[in-house]
Structure 1
Amino acid sequence: EQLKELEDQLRAAERQVTTKERQVTTKERQVTAKERDLLQAEINLRNAKVALEKAQDVYEWPDIRTAQLKVCGAKELLAYALRNLDKATSPSDIEAWTNIVEGAEAALSIAEDRLEAIFSAYDTEEVAIKKLQVELVQGRLEDAQRDIEDAQRDVEDAQRDVEDAQRDVEDAQRDVEDAQEALDEALNTSLEITAPCDGMVLDIKFREGDMVTKDSPIIVLADLNQMELRVTIGQDNIISIKPGLSAEIDLDSLPGETLKGKVDYMLPQKSTTSQTVTYEVYLSL
């Protein structure tokens, strides 16, 4: 029963190893999936950066820079004309610088209108959106990298679980082997029947192949040091027999040899064929 229990434990440990190995396979597939997610995140980040660069290129188009320079030049010319107008004293100088100021103001207005028209032609909010998209994709990329690290740690943990389960199988296998060894030794030992004392085998109750039940006697053994002889004595002679009396016995089976014994007790036996009574005398040899 103990061996069967240990074998069941061994099979359970082997099933546990199989389960843990499947978990490792599942975790490895998760790592592969996370790696694909990371690759997709890298592609998305690259595309977002390209889109941002294109939007920035549109925003920094040379026409914008030229328009900005014209506005700056018009402002400088207007400031210069105003300073000279303030300094002018003669009517002719005042008139001349007044005309220049008016021309500078007109040029500045045209330059500013041109710059505003260029800005209005392109959506500057698109650049901000593209920047946010880059940041978002960058965050997803970092999340994917962390997911891979977590998945790889899960694989390592699952592999350690497999190793632990394999050690459990080895321990269970050793327990089964030890139990089998002990059982074999017990079976070999149980095949040896040792008599409780020296004596003579009088009868063998079971033979090879017979079914033996618990507490059934297998061999009838006689202790030759404590033999008992039963002798029938007639009622005429029993009066001279009493317990403790010494006796000498001659047996036909042992010619020329006299056995010595002692009377232990006597039992009356009535004959079934006549009215006579005989006595069975038991002697210890």
Structure 2
Amino acid sequence: MGIAKLIVTILVLGGLSVLSLSCSPEQDAAPVSENEVAAIQRGDLTIDITAVGNLALSLKENLAFEIPGTVEEVLVEEGETVDEGQVLVKLDTSEWDKQLDALKNQVTAAERQETAAERSLLTKQRDLIQAEINLKNTEIALEKTDTTYSLSDFKVAEADVGEAEENLKVTLVKWTKYGEGTPGYAAFQEVVVQAQTRLDTAEAKLETMLSGFDSDSVAIKKLQVEINQGKLEDAKKAIEDAQITIDDAQEDVKNAQQELDEALEVSPEILSPFSGFITKVNVDGGDEVKKGTVAVELADPAKFEADVLVNEMDIFQVRLSGEAIVQIDAMQGITLPAQVTHISPSATIQSGVVNYKVRVEIRSLAPVVREGLGSRPEATPDIVSGEFPARLQQAVDEGRMTQEQAEEFMKRIQSGEGPSRADRASGRGSGETPPEGEQRRAPPTPPQDFHLREGLTVTVSIIVNERKDALLVPNSAITTRGSTTSVQVLSADGTVEGREIETGISDFQYTEVTGGLSEGEEVVTSQRSPSSESSTGGGRIRIPFFGGGGR
């Protein structure tokens, strides 16, 4: 019992000494060893959302026949690589050639009808001119029948006679209504005399105008004028009919030419619209096919995409055209640049877990080689106990990756096949030499015959936030109490002092410092596992490629 109490006393005293070092910003601590100190350096920090998916060819095209017919020859096989414009399948063209000849003959016939209609119109126009000439000649001949009076004078004289005759009739009717010897009878008798005198005068004038001329000749001339007027109207109507015939002929030519053009635009051959490879062949030589029958399926081997699931807590951070990175699981260390091309508006719900499908498309097949870990001591999550960091466990629970994939991912991180932490902290490029004493793993290189395959498992990291050339502090150096964040800063004399700092975003290793520290200052780090009071981002452990918002 005494030994047990002694052990408890030692443990309590040890715990109090640790708390006095890490949690009291006002008290200086004893000097610390070099392997517990990290310098504040500049580097790039990236926050991403990661899920697992499978590659799919993003550019596939079903190539179909544009006309019906008989397959004459299939020139490709499944898996064969083809060039843009290469002939893939041919139809027997004998029947097609006959149809083209018939359409050409139809255009020629329509053009001939149009020409004939135009000639007919010219003839009708000449007939109209002749009718106008004939009418004018007959009118002149009628006027020349009397050298003194014109045709209009005759018409006026004839009208005067007719009006006088009508006036006399009306007067006689009124006169007969009065009895003989009455005042009215005597008065209207005078009116009747005047009406008779008016008629005699008009008839005398007309007779004078007609005297010395052949009345039959005048009548003939009038009849000729009327006939030529009718011919003129007929000529005008004929021109209208001829113009309608031309319009119809022109429409026939247009329709016939359009049918021929459409026929010439299609082809009995199927050509490759782009360079790629054949994924499927659906026809054989001798097959009878209809218009629209799919003959082959073509895919572009340089166009790939992947669908992944993003949970409801992270989906609002994803943006169309946002940057992403695709890591090929079968080719460790090799990643490809990608871009978000689609975000599903509807959710996929399984076992109460809400996810949204996000599609990313690979922008280039030029691989980005990520370097391994440097030798600088850094805390990595321990999975010996079978436990995963919160974000990684969340991805497993939501079905975005399997338990086996999560374990494999953690093995990569611990074996140094993730992003270079030292380089990210220091801001070094991949081609720069590390400081003296720091080891660097040789980066993996893609094989010379590097080709993607549909169905390959990939890890997709959708970048939602990043900082360039930011001040970075290791998460193991940060202590969080409530809303206060602090670190233990190593002074020049070897002692430490507590200091409150302001922070920005963080990943599973580093946190952005926005105030309270300067580049080159050294802070005390802790090798113990993060707890609720010494963690990053409010207790969340960040895993490479498993981002989710920063602070």
TM-score where L is the length of structure 2: 0.24
Larger radius of gyration: 1
The structure whose residues are more often helix, as a share, is 1
Structure with higher RCO (Cα < 8 A, 6+ apart): 2
TM-score where L is the length of structure 1: 0.42
